[in-house]
Structure 1
């Protein structure tokens, strides 16, 4: 009898596309493996109000976490940027692998192909990300960030219905649902510093499930593991949550990590930047966070809590 691995996931088109990628990698490693998908709608998917009213980004992971702990699935697939940075994953589970990182950049989707620089004063830009909204205020203060909820497909439908003049979405997400033709502009990482964990998928297992842990660990991409660990360590030390306008982006070159962290006030008028280099991702993330805190990051973060 072949081994069965049940993958728990959100039921959105993007989440299911992500699971298809993981399933293909698992089957390539073991053609005899049977993979089943356990899809569910999370409270974050159902809720139409501010995510902060549900406790933040954990609203997209807690039902999947509960299914994993309860034995309804064996492996959870999460976007790293949806995993809360201000608290550990549930006891009894571990994140054992990050897949090779996809594009980290943010994209502008505008029906007429107009860039942010050329949009008129007061144009409505759909985003519910404090990080994106704050950097929009910094570089494009003539534009108006407007909250938007729902998965990428529903957000695009709202844009097409005229509720917004443009959207800010992740390039990686649009790639995963084969909608890159909707992109009108890709923003450089020095202007729109990415979210911690952008473009990265995490594999989470029960700690005591040796079989599934072995399958998941075999998919771990070490450079992505190092880069993402540095970013998430910085986020954890800053005690960042879904309200916090925090950005972080690490690169790896010849074994040396470089990390750029940014904390920015919602109005874009106060910008704190810190960078560092090193070989230990946790030490690097801690050092960059410490420099941001020295500059006053705690005041900005607490003001948005």
Structure 2
């Protein structure tokens, strides 16, 4: 397509946290290589999730991090939104009139432990306080390390690191990719295996959301799409959509696209105390990614996932 049809300027809307702005910089850098002629401007917004100090469930869950971004996009105040996919609710469709135009190559999807003295999870003394507000992490730690205590800690990664330094927790669990994005990977004392800590749906993936009718912007960013990450994200989000989990549901999982085109999806649902663990793992074979996501979710529903999820207050 000739470059004359591409926009001269792309306005990028994003949360205003350091992490979110670092994610925007990655998109800008990749876009500059693909289309050096396109200028970009950043439209930062403050979201309810960033402002709210309490439990996300009181705000209606993850949408707390995307509502204001969606509104700016739909109002035409910006052309593209950069989202970490794990923050975009999958139990309902994207806001009407918007689409994911591309997803960037996936970063590390594992969780990382941050401990001031570099201890690993297994080395932490009994009773150590692990700072995390993630029900997914709390449930899995209850299974693997019941001698540790989880303490709620909210805020962006920078503020959580400050709270750790202030002694509000003995260690933190954070996304390895997030720490790398803000240049704090040196703080990591252990990167946990996917077996030890199953990640959230959409971990490590950045998606570019545009208005459906804005074909010039979609055309401008489409070349940044990573096919493997797109297939993994499609399977994972359909999995979560079929399960209809809420923000207090400890649901975890990840898809993996192999170089030969095969796709697998591991999905897990936990009770908050970790005493019930449902597990399913399937290969797509000829299935498309969305069908694979549906199939793994149905396998968990057969094991009682609906009753487990519905029994958790939210």
Q: For residues 193-212 of structure 1, what are the alpha-carbon distances to aligned partners after superposition, in whole Å with 9 as ceiling and x for unaligned?
A: 11111000010000110111
1:154 aligned residue: 159
What are the residue-to-residue correspondences of 1:169-188 with 2, within 5 Å? 169-188=174-193
Q: Write the deviation string for residues 55-87 of structure 1: whole angstroms up to 9, x where unpaired.
A: 101101100000000011000000000001111
Using the size of structure 1 for normalisation, the TM-score is 0.98
- Structure 1 unaligned residues grouped into runs of 5+: none
Equivalent of 1:117, from 122, 135, 140? 122
Task: Select which of 289, 302, 307 maps to 1:294.
Answer: 302
Counterpart of 2:172 in structure 1 is: 167
Q: How does 1:1-305 map to 2 (within 5 A)?
A: 3-253=8-258, 254-278=260-284, 279-304=287-312, 305=314
In the TM superposition, residue 259 of structure 1 has moved relative to its aligned partner by: 0.6
Deviation at 1:88, TM superposition (A): 0.9
Give distance in 1, aligned partners of 2:257 and 2:206.
18
Q: Render the CA deviation track for 1:76-114: whole Å, top value 9, x for unaligned.
A: 000000001111111011112110000000000010111
**Deviant stretches of 4+, over 3 Å:** none
| SS of aligned partner of 1:59 | helix
**TM-score, with normalisation over the residues of structure 2?**
0.95
Q: Secondary structure at the match of 2:30?
A: helix
Q: How many correspondences in the alignment?
A: 305
Q: Alpha-carbon deviation of 1:241?
A: 2.4
Unaligned runs of 5+ in 2: none
Q: Is 1:128–1:146's contact at 8 Å kept on the other side of the alignment?
A: yes
Q: Is the contact made by 1:85 and 1:241 (CA closer than 8 Å) also made in structure 2?
A: no
Q: Deviations over 1:195-240 (max 9, x none)?
A: 1110000100001101111112111100000011111110000002
Q: 1:226 and 1:111 mapped to 2: Cα distance?
A: 38
What is the CA–CA distance in structure 2 between the aligned matches of 1:80 and 1:258, rounded to whole Å?
Answer: 19
RMSD after superposition? 1.0
Deviation at 1:27, TM superposition (A): 1.5
